[in-house]
């Protein structure tokens, strides 16, 4: 597998996550003007916000890539250990932000709804948390697909399933909620997730770079292909072009991070907080204290920067709180 110098190392992957979470915040604050009354958005900002939705496919791709790399190195993926780790990270945000709604905003409490949201079966407290449920479902199915990893048919199996499942997604009514909503997101994002596994398994980033004489040719090829994919998507509404554009954008981001040198540590920092920021930001954006905190300015750029700062600071505070709780529990266990 590793015949070439690795393009998407762990640090670069985290940097891309940092870029992706900044795009996600942009998508939610600029891409849905009807959800934030009073925010002054130009048509260009709305279009940029809508285009930034590719961050979802980027996160899915990186997840598949990273999981396959773990499988390649260790020969297994401890699925339930990973699921438990994800839930623990999720609950660190859940058990701080959800009670705020009960205590200060008169949100109704029902034990069944609470448990369903706690385990990502429903997303009534924060609709944008659907991503976590879909990721867990893809993670659970991954070992089944990897049973064919050593077979020659593996890439054809993955691609065939991707085409089939993406096609089936068009027959599922995601607006009906419940199982249908989970099924739609699973079918729709399977291709991006498993494309990441193929890129890792077959070193496709490295082979793409090796096939080009210079880095500038790689960049030019990515830009041209993204442009063509964007035209096809826009003109004929072929949403599958997003899947094509995802690895191309990731490659360009990595080139960008290499060019800016040590300044890329800013994106690495955001990447390390990306999960918390993703879980937190829509509370300020849509659900909690929107007028009091987010809308101190109706300027779109000011509101965006403010939302990034609030999400990052909240993530840092949450990490600090749980770190102290962990230390206290360790101390008490030694008594």
Q: Is residue 100 part of a domain?
A: yes
- Number of domains within the chain: 1
Q: Is residue 240 part of a domain?
A: yes
- Distance CA(303)–CA(305), nearest Å, equals 6
Asked if residue 26 is part of any domain, the answer here is: yes
Closest by CA to 66, choosing from 189, 197, 157, 192, is 197
pLDDT score at 106: 87
pLDDT, residue 3, reads 45
- In this prediction, residue 120 carries a pLDDT of 95
Q: Is residue 5 part of a domain?
A: no
**Parent domain of 24:** 10-333
Q: pLDDT at position 173, please? A: 72
In a domain, 303, yes or no: yes
**Residue 5 confidence (pLDDT):** 67
Picking from 18, 20, 22, 48, the residue whose alpha carbon sits closest to that of residue 33 is: 48
- 64 C-beta neighbours (distance < 10 Å), count: 26
Mean pLDDT by 10 residues, the chain (335 residues): 70 98 97 92 96 97 96 90 95 96 92 96 94 95 93 94 91 73 91 96 94 91 96 92 96 97 97 97 92 88 96 96 87 74
Helix (H, G, I), strand (E, B) or coil at 224: helix
Of 132, 74, 110, 120, give the one whose Cα is nearest residue 279.
132
Question: Is 4 part of any domain?
Answer: no
Residue 2 lies inside a defined structural domain of this protein: no
Angle at 279 between CA 196 and CA 119, to 5 degrees: 85
Nearest to 269 by CA among 318, 205, 313, 326: 313
The pTM assigned to this predicted structure is: 0.94
Q: What are the C-alpha distances in Å from 64 to residues 58, 110, 200, 241, 305?
A: 10, 35, 8, 18, 30
Q: Is residue 3 part of a domain?
A: no
pLDDT of residue 315: 97
Q: What is the pLDDT of residue 37?
A: 87
How many angstroms from the chain centroid is the CA of residue 51?
A: 15
């Amino acid at each position: 597998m590793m015949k070439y110098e690795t393009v998407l190392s762990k640090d670069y992957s985290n940097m891309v996550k940092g870029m992706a979470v900044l795009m996600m915040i942009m998508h939610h604050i600029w891409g849905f003007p009807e959800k934030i009354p009073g925010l002054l958005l130009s048509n260009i900002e709305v279009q940029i916000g809508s285009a930034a939705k590719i961050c979802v496919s980027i996160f899915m791709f990186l997840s598949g890539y990273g999981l396959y790399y773990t499988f390649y190195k260790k020969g297994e993926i401890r699925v339930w250990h990973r699921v438990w780790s994800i839930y623990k990270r999720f609950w660190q945000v859940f058990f701080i932000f959800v009670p705020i709604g009960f205590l200060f905003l008169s949100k109704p409490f029902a034990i069944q709804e609470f448990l369903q949201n706690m385990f990502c079966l429903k997303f009534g407290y924060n609709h944008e948390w659907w991503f976590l449920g879909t990721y867990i479902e893809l993670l659970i199915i991954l070992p089944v697909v990897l049973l064919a990893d050593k077979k020659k048919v593996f890439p054809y199996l993955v691609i065939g399933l991707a085409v089939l499942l993406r096609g089936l997604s068009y027959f599922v009514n995601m607006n009906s909620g419940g199982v249908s909503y989970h099924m739609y997101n699973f079918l729709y994002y399977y291709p991006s997730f498993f494309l990441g596994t193929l890129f890792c398994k077959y070193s496709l980033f490295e082979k793409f770079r090796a096939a080009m004489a210079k880095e500038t040719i790689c960049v030019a090829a990515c830009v041209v292909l993204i442009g063509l994919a964007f035209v096809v998507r826009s003109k004929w509404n072929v949403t599958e072009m997003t899947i094509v554009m995802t690895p191309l954008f990731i490659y360009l981001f990595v080139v960008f991070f290499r060019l800016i040198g040590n300044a890329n540590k800013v994106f690495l920092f955001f990447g390390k907080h990306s999960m918390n920021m993703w879980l937190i930001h829509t509370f300020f954006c849509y659900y909690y204290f929107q007028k009091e905190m987010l809308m101190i300015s109706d300027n779109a750029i000011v509101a965006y920067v403010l939302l990034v700062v609030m999400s990052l600071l909240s993530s840092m505070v949450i990490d600090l709180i749980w770190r102290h709780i962990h230390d206290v529990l360790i101390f008490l266990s030694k008594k």
